[in-house]
A and B are shown apart, each in its own frame.
Chain A
Amino acid sequence: MPSPLIDFSRRHWLDMNFSQALALKESGIDRVLLHGLDERERDWLRVAMAVYVADRITLRSGSTSWERRMEGRSMHIRVPVMNPEAWGEGVRLALVKALEFFTGDQWEVELVKHPSLRSAPATEALFDLRPEAPFVGLFSGGLDSFAGSVLQALESPEQTGVMVTASSNYRLFAQQRELLEETNRQLRGRARPMMPIHVFHSVDRIAAQHLVGGSKQEASQRSRGFLFMCIGLALSHRLGVDTLWVYENGIGAINLPHTPSGLGVDYTRAMNPVGLSLMGDLASRYFGSTLRVRNASLWRTKGEMCGRLGLLGFGELAVKTLSCDKAGRRKSNDQIQCGYCTSCILRRVSLAAGGLELMDQRFSTYEENLYNVAADAKNDRLFQLRAMKAQALRIRAAVDGIAADPVFALFREFPELRRVTAAIAQDESRPATDVASDLVELFRRYVRDWEYFETMLPKPHRMAS
């Protein structure tokens, strides 16, 4: 069902001081991010923020989770920008294509002249911070971005990593800052310290203020990764680099459905290679120069990333990161992770496969410890474990021996991989058949990670070999 037009050029939106919703924090000094960017970059972020706000305030219809998954949304937004002419047909089509991939919804985006903004040059604040030979990466503070950025810093010791964080609450901001500071202490003498750019945004608050009748914000947040990447791409452009790095293990990035009923955007596509390719295309068209989003961890399982961290002496710091889907949403002790969401489970699989399970048990706190979980534990606490096991079984059946052609068997079971293969082949300029074979290998190694993890589970929760 078409949603009504969300017109961000109307007075009540402009009064929200929308253009200052993002603030840059560096060395304890608050700067208004948008003043450090040029007009084109500011417009880019205005559109990204508008998309995110629209996504949060437009609830998917239906009273049950099943009904909400059944129907998509038809979104229509109007966004005021300094320079609507920069959003030509090709750019808008690329924008819509990316949004439809990430959110699964139908989008229509209008760009209109902002009624009151005046032209202002970018300040040099950001440019002054530009280190020599930087690489720019997104840093969420989770295990993947921590592992990926540390490994990239150690593999490129002549470069300085500029790590972009984005947060909408101070606890998360503090955790990200603390983790980067501790990481830099441990990198000393081995690599250049990473330079943080903390972006604190109030876009969630803006969305909350525009909800009708006190209803909740849309929980799926499928455009959250889009916003984060847009922030990173604007900063990459400002810093004059042509690549924005992200760090998501290959399995998590591709994020195949856990059950056969999973479909479309049931599982986030935030770091999917297809989405990254679409974002690169969009940014390149809009900024008029080549910009890419690349995943430095695409060909690693999370277990492999953890294993390398352990060997390099970063194991203790790794287990102190947070992965839980619910972390940061808790009112009380936000160091406790639930232990049974898919993010917690993949984390434990990977820490175990990487040889860090003892540290994990010593330093991490889980509400439900799967290593001791009772056979009759509440079903909702075992649901995701079972679903992920079902997926591991399907993958194993495809890639391990039984099928004559593992590529065919895996792709037939998960046809989503065809689009993924095409995107990677294009990005890496490699033959698709090579990419497909490498994907089979990646998933084969993931199954090994799972099999090791299962040996740690109480017997009733293991599967047959």
Chain B
Amino acid sequence: MKQKIKYFWATAYIAVLVTGTLFHQQVSDIFRFHVDVKTMTPELMTIQDKMQTKEMGWINVERKEPCYCIPNQAVEQNQIYYAEKKNETFGSYYVVKKSDVTILKISDGFCYVIDGITEDMMVVMEYSNQLYDGMRVTVRKSE
């Protein structure tokens, strides 16, 4: 009987660790508060910009600027959130990171961002709860 109890504890110890290894994400999903985010990948485009420059007096110039177009709601005080996939040996998860952006122009509900964003970023458009830097989220739909 004593030996059986010892084997029970040994089996329980190994079982907890094996279950944790294989199913920790499922267990985590049960207990964790879910924050769903909707993401999009920004498209590179060119925008014509009119500006004044001081070269031998003030003159109007028109320039073509490469920029990324993202919805207005994704930008908050010149900052955006983007989802980043963290890969580990036994699973992966998404976290949101904050990034400062430089906005060239805002029009028709869209922001034209020239800096602080790249083509492979998954920019967060909508979220179900207040986000913070490094927060673990569930990416439900990616466009």
Co-assembled chains A and B: no
